[in-house]
């Protein structure tokens, strides 16, 4: 007796079709699972044996061989349990319908219920792309799967229900697709809560308009964390493609809210400074996404930046440039996207009061130097905008004037992003911060006066080539905010001020 059922496996974000082949022959009773299964896949034997007993079906006293093809790809997890069980039932004659166009994924419990799994969205997308007509998966994953139109999704609670459906006795209702809706979410943290700090707010608005990385440096209590945590409230809403990308990552990591089928808010990740390198960039025996991938299409906020392990911070340099992270293990190699805005916040010295206008710094010059040197030159170069956050003035704190709300700032950000969307139409570029070196001349036209001013800045401050391109990109964003197609001298002047703190602090 032979049967074949379709399933889907995952390697990182990459889904692939798995043919679950089963043959039952006379011989010594055994259950052999082949096709490079790991320990969790092999354990499906006992889960399936117990699940069959729950519906009064005897496990065959024969030689049972299950092959998970392709045999040269390692299989992991419990995702193939349901397909193995259905193939066994089909080989035994309990199912006689044609299942060639159907896919089965899910974990089978000892009681016969079907448990939720991670990474469902990637699997459903792959199933649709491969031309399958229907997919059967755990009931708890059905909302997540229903955002993909063009394939019939069936949520299964237990194997008894599935058996009744496939035999035609009690059909399972097909899950209706859920339409994607991109709306402006309301946030509890609003920029109207922040008193004063107009120059910092302007810098963060420039950052949001162009997708630029920001470094905030200032004394304790100046509002660095307060400002950074309100950044999501001024970012533009995600489109469907961006939402699908981040939902796939959160699904694989098991961080998807079962009540929300798709992530529509831009992620805001704020790991503690004790995080390991693997926690930040991803890792594990079977590589899982780290914080930089969970922040894809959103924000990664590193508070107390100088307190992070220096080696951990240096690992960020390549993902910030490549916008992806590749993790290699004996098990295999996976690549996760990591296109995020980086916001760093730090004190200028161990005591926090170096260059404070009123309080005296108690640190020695060497202590200040050692503290700031935890942020290397190459990493500092990857922050587009450097902002000094000064202490809030007393008059600002007691003022009864209303501060500008996040919603009004966000409307300006959306307007500027729409300009960029039109400019970069037909390319892989989504914002000014992503303009490649080859495209700088095309997308950043500049007047002669602005070019001369930039030359003086470059020669006097000893900017690197990367810093030069950063200033051009920031100038492009400021010009967009002013409604100017060509970069003017005033735009260069404002942009260059955002790159001056390395001269003030890192050359002490």
- Would you say residue 433 has pLDDT above 60? yes
d(CA 325, CA 336): 5
Instruction: Average the pLDDT over 71-96 and give the result.
Output: 91
Neighbours of 182 (CB within 10 A): 13
388: β partners:
217
* 204 burial via Cβ count (<10 Å: 0-12, 13-18, 19+): buried
CB 208 within 8 A of CB 413: yes
Block residue for tokens 């889960």:
47
**Amino acid 125: pLDDT:** 95
Instruction: Average the pLDDT over 372-400 and give the result.
Output: 84
Interval 351-385: pLDDT, tens: 988 888 888 899 998 999 899 989 988 898 889 99
Q: Is the peptide bond before 11 cis (omega within 30 degrees of 0)?
A: no
Q: Against a cut of 0.85, is the pTM above it?
A: yes
CB 212 within 8 A of CB 299: no
**Amino acid 29: pLDDT:** 82
Higher confidence at residue 166 or residue 260? Answer: 166
81 contacts: CB under 8 Å, gap ≥ 6: 44, 47, 48, 106, 107, 108
Interval 302-327: pLDDT, tens: 999 999 999 999 999 999 988 999 88
**Amino acid 270: pLDDT:** 95
Confidence band, pLDDT 50/70/90 cuts, at residue 502:
low
Residues in the chain: 508
Interval 224-252: pLDDT, tens: 999 999 999 999 998 889 999 999 999 99
Interval 449-465: pLDDT, tens: 998 988 888 888 777 78
**Amino acid 347: pLDDT:** 92
d(CA 142, CA 117): 11
Confidence band, pLDDT 50/70/90 cuts, at residue 76:
confident
CB 294 within 8 A of CB 250: yes
d(CA 194, CA 402): 10
CB 19 within 8 A of CB 56: no
**Amino acid 159: pLDDT:** 93
Higher confidence at residue 283 or residue 66? Answer: 66
Neighbours of 459 (CB within 10 A): 9
What torsion do the CA atoms of 206, 211, 212, 217 make, to the nearest 10 degrees? 70
**Amino acid 135: pLDDT:** 96
**Amino acid 185: pLDDT:** 66
- Would you say residue 183 has pLDDT above 70? no
Confidence band, pLDDT 50/70/90 cuts, at residue 133:
very high
For the ranges 96-100, 210-214, 390-394, which has the lowest average pLDDT?
390-394
Kindly write down the DSSP assignment for every residue of 364-387, as one continuous string.
-HHHHHHHHTTS-HHHHHT-SEEE
Neighbours of 389 (CB within 10 A): 22
Neighbours of 381 (CB within 10 A): 18
- Would you say residue 508 has pLDDT above 60? no
Which structure tokens are listed for 132? 């399958």
Higher confidence at residue 34 or residue 260? Answer: 34
Give the rounded distance of the alpha carbon of 139 from its chain centre.
Answer: 25
**Amino acid 333: pLDDT:** 83
- Would you say residue 149 has pLDDT above 80? yes
**Amino acid 355: pLDDT:** 84
Higher confidence at residue 502 or residue 288? Answer: 288
Confidence band, pLDDT 50/70/90 cuts, at residue 262:
confident
d(CA 194, CA 32): 64
- Is beta strand 2-11 parallel, antiparallel or unpaired with respect to 214-218? unpaired
d(CA 5, CA 100): 7
Domains, the chain, with CATH or none:
2-166 (3.30.230.10), 191-428 (3.40.50.300)
**Amino acid 503: pLDDT:** 65
Confidence band, pLDDT 50/70/90 cuts, at residue 141:
very high
**Amino acid 504: pLDDT:** 67
Give a three-class secondary structure readout of 139-171: HHHHHHHCCCCCCEEEEECEHHHHHHHHCCCCC
d(CA 419, CA 124): 34
Give the rounded distance of the alpha carbon of 58 from its chain centre.
Answer: 45
490 φ/ψ sector (left φ>0, alpha ψ -120 to 50, else beta): alpha
Mean pLDDT value across the chain: 89
Which run of H or E residues covers position 87? helix 81-91
- What residue spans of 274-403 are helical by DSSP H? 277-281, 291-294, 310-314, 317-322, 365-372, 377-381, 394-398
- Per DSSP (E only), the strands in 121-181 are 134-138, 152-156
- Would you say residue 181 has pLDDT above 80? no
**Amino acid 409: pLDDT:** 93
What share of the chain in percent tops pLDDT 90? 55
**Amino acid 404: pLDDT:** 87
Closest CA to 161 of 178, 137, 179: 137
Q: What are phi and psi of 403, to 5 degrees?
A: -85, 155
DSSP state of 40: H
d(CA 5, CA 95): 12
Closest CA to 354 of 306, 311, 397: 306
């Amino acid at each position: 007796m032979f049967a074949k059922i379709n399933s889907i496996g995952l390697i990182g974000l990459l889904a692939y079709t798995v043919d679950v082949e089963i043959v039952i022959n006379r011989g010594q009773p055994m259950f052999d699972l082949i096709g490079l299964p790991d320990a969790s896949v092999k354990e499906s034997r006992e889960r399936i044996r117990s699940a069959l007993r729950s519906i009064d079906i005897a496990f065959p006293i024969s030689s049972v061989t299950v092959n998970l093809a392709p045999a040269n790809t390692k299989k992991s997890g419990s995702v193939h349990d349901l397909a193995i069980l259905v193939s066994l039932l089909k080989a035994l004659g309990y199912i006689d319908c044609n299942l060639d166009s159907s896919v089965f994924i899910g974990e089978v419990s000892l009681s016969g219920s079907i448990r939720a799994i991670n990474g469902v969205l990637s699997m459903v997308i792959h199933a649709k792309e491969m031309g399958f007509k229907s997919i059967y998966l755990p009931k708890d994953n059905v909302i997540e799967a229903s955002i993909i139109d063009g394939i019939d999704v069936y949520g299964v609670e237990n194997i008894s229900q599935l058996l009744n459906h496939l035999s035609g006795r009690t059909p399972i209702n097909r899950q209706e697709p859920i339409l994607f809706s991109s709306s402006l979410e309301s946030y509890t943290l609003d920029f109207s809560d922040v008193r004063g700090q107009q120059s910092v707010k302007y810098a963060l608005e420039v950052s949001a308009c162009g997708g630029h990385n920001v470094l905030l440096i200032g004394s304790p209590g100046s509002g660095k964390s307060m400002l950074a945590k309100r950044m999501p409230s001024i970012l533009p809403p995600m489109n469907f493609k961006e939402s699908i990308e981040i939902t796939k990552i959160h699904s694989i990591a098991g961080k998807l809210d079962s009540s929300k089928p798709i992530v529509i808010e831009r992620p805001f990740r704020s790991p503690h400074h004790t995080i390991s390198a693997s926690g930040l960039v991803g890792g594990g025996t079977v590589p899982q996404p780290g914080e930089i991938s969970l922040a894809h299409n959103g924000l990664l906020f590193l508070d107390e930046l100088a307190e992070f392990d220096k080696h951990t911070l240096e690992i960020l340099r390549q993902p910030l440039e490549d916008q992806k992270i590749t993790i290699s293990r004996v098990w295999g190699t996976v690549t996760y996207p990591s296109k995020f805005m980086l916001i760093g916040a730090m004190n200028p010295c161990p005591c926090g009061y170096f260059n404070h206008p009123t309080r005296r710094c108690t640190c020695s010059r060497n202590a200040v130097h050692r503290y700031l040197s935890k942020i290397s030159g190459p990493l500092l170069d990857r922050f587009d905008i450097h902002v000094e956050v000064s202490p809030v003035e007393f008059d600002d704190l007691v003022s009864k004037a209303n501060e500008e709300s996040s919603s009004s700032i966000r409307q300006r950000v959306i307007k500027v992003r729409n300009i960029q969307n039109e400019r970069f139409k037909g390319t892989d570029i989504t914002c000014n911060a992503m303009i490649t070196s080859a495209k700088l001349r095309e997308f950043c036209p500049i007047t002669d006066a602005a070019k001369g001013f930039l030359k003086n800045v470059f020669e006097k401050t000893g900017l690197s080539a990367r810093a030069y391109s950063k200033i051009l990109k920031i100038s492009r964003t400021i010009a967009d905010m002013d409604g100017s197609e060509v970069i003017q001298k005033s735009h260069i002047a404002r942009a260059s001020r955002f790159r001056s703190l390395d001269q003030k602090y890192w050359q002490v």
